[in-house]
């Protein structure tokens, strides 16, 4: 499994493919974004050093309330889309082959692939995240009892 310097996520593109997060989007956008971040952050240790999630529709910059040690949350400035921010970032990155972009937007995929980055669809990325969460949960479970031995059923002679 290839590791990357950074995973760059098109936030709303991913959110619209996550039933868990999407159900909250209309009534509580902040909660929807937070739910999405909880879904995706478990994949970071397996696939990359860090992750940057870029959303549309807010003043530009990092959102310190949603940013964690592994995941940086950014908002595109009002005059740009998240797609444009991601495309510009990838094109300016010194080693774009060390980036993975998670998006299902065809035009964005074409630009970042052309710049040398790897791309994964939003659906496939969410599947990776679910697998990582399942592995993490399994590693936290206490070990099961060893199977019984034949001697456990018969008294010692």
pLDDT tens, position by position, 102-154: 999 999 999 999 999 999 999 999 999 989 888 877 776 666 666 666 666 66
Query: Range of 67's domain?
Result: 4-137
Considering the domain boundaries, does residue 115 fall inside one? yes
Q: What is the DSSP string of the chain?
A: ---EEEEEEEHHHHHTT-HHHHHHHTT-HHHHHHHHHHHHGGGHHHHEEEEEEEESSS-SEE-TTT--SSEEEEE--TTS-HHHHHHHHHHH-S-GGGEEEE---HHHHHHHHHHT-EEE-HHHHHHHHHHHHHHHHHHHSPPPPPPPPGGGTS---
pLDDT tens, position by position, 38-54: 888 888 888 999 999 99
Considering the domain boundaries, does residue 152 fall inside one? no
Mean pLDDT, the chain, whole residue set: 86
Considering the domain boundaries, does residue 149 fall inside one? no
Start-to-end CA distance of the chain, whole Å, equals 53
Considering the domain boundaries, does residue 102 fall inside one? yes
CATH number at residue 121: 3.40.50.1010
Provide the whole-model pTM.
Answer: 0.82
Query: How many domains does one find in the chain?
Result: 1
Residue indicated by tokens 């031995």:
149
Considering the domain boundaries, does residue 93 fall inside one? yes
**Residue 97 and residue 113 in contact, taking contact as beta carbons nearer than 8 Å:** no
Task: Write out the two tokens for 69.
Answer: 């040690």
Considering the domain boundaries, does residue 42 fall inside one? yes
């Amino acid at each position: 499994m290839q590791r990357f310097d950074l995973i760059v996520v098109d936030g709303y593109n991913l959110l619209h493919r996550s039933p868990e997060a999407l159900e909250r989007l209309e009534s509580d956008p902040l909660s929807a974004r937070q739910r999405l971040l909880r879904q995706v952050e478990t994949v970071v240790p397996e696939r990359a050093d860090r992750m940057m999630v870029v959303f549309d529709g807010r003043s530009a910059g990092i959102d310190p309330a949603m940013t964690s040690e592994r995941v940086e949350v950014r908002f595109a400035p009002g005059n740009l889309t998240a797609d444009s921010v991601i495309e510009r970032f990838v094109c300016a990155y010194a080693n774009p082959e060390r980036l993975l972009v998670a998006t299902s937007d065809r035009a964005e995929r074409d630009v970042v692939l052309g710049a040398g980055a790897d791309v994964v669809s939003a659906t496939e990325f969410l599947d990776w995240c679910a697998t990582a969460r399942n592995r993490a949960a399994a590693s936290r479970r206490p070990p099961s009892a060893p199977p019984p031995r034949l001697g456990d059923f018969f008294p010692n002679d």
